[in-house]
Amino acid sequence: MELVGRLLGLLALLLAGTALRAGNVLDRTRSERLNAFAYWVALPALIFVSTYDQSMVAVVTPALVGGHVFVLLSTAGLAWAFFRRRGERDRQSVAVVQSYHSNIGYLGFPLIAATFEAGVTAVAGVILGVVSLVQVPLTVGVFVSVNQADVPFRREVAKLAANPVLLSLVAGVVVSVSSVGVPPGIAGGLDALGSLALPTALLCVGASLDVGVPSFDAWGTGMVVVLKVVFMPALTWVVFRALAADAATVTASVVMLGTPTAVSTFVFAGELGGDTEFASLNVFASTVASIVTLFSLVALFG
């Protein structure tokens, strides 16, 4: 019952974000400020405090890295086989990208930190770094190649170097490996900030959802949702069971890659020639569907 209450609370926050946007309480300016707080402050703080006192050497393994790269590329390849002959290029690119690009930062990692033990959270932090380093360049590459977008590939990929999420992960790993102590006052303050990551992120995601689109491609959106929140976590479970991964790795991997399509894919679509209306609808549909699938995954592995 405690798990049910917790997940219902997460759903309430998500819907609250949507309602606050509809009531113009979270207008564009306030949404941007809230998003900036989550992205630059709360989430990096959560990642750092979840990794700096864990044994990261034992977490980072070739199997963990290779397994996630395999799942990402396999899902992207399957999505390309489904969508490459359907619709215009701008819609094809969006469908392929949104079938594998997971919301691991705003939803996956905070959800795991709020639900599972420290060991699982530490693994999730490494997964966050590995998957981000793969899926962002892959997404840019898909949009640029399919839409023939005139955008410097290096410029988009270079943004990763200034990503606060990855920087905080690197800082946590460095502190962990070097065994440098963090003063209790600083650790406590960061822990307090990190506790705000999940509720803030849920409000941001809820405020970003938009279903006010003129057309509805039921088959296209349905396939994106199935690939993202059903096929991808199922494939992840098969791969890491085959690799004989430990329970923490399997749990963190399945939940992280079982998250819905990242809201950032809508931004990429706007910048790199994708169909933004289709992208917005898919983010909404996968997020709604993931309420059921993530509940099932957390209940199963929890």
Written as tens digits, the pLDDT of the chain (302 aa) is 455 666 677 778 878 888 898 888 888 899 889 888 988 898 889 888 888 877 766 677 889 999 999 999 999 999 999 998 887 889 999 999 999 999 998 889 988 988 899 889 989 989 998 998 889 889 988 988 888 766 665 666 667 677 787 788 888 888 888 877 788 899 899 989 988 887 887 788 778 776 555 567 889 999 999 999 999 999 999 999 999 999 999 999 999 999 999 888 987 888 788 898 888 889 888 988 988 898 889 888 86
Q: Tell me if residue 11 falls in helix, strand or coil.
A: helix
Return the closest-CA partner of residue 151 out of 272, 274, 276, 275: 272
CATH number at residue 261: 1.20.1530
What is residue 181's predicted lDDT score, i.e. its pLDDT?
A: 78
Q: How far apart are CA 268 and CA 252, in angstroms?
A: 26
- pTM passes above 0.85: no
Output the pLDDT for position 264: 85
pLDDT score for 174: 86
HEC string of 7-40 equals HHHHHHHHHHHHHHHHCCCCCHHHHHHHHHHHHH
pLDDT of amino acid 1: 47
Residue 98 · residue 282 · CB < 8 Å: yes
> Domain total for the chain?
1
Task: Look at the block and give the residue holding tokens 């406590």.
Answer: 188
Range of the domain at 165: 2-301
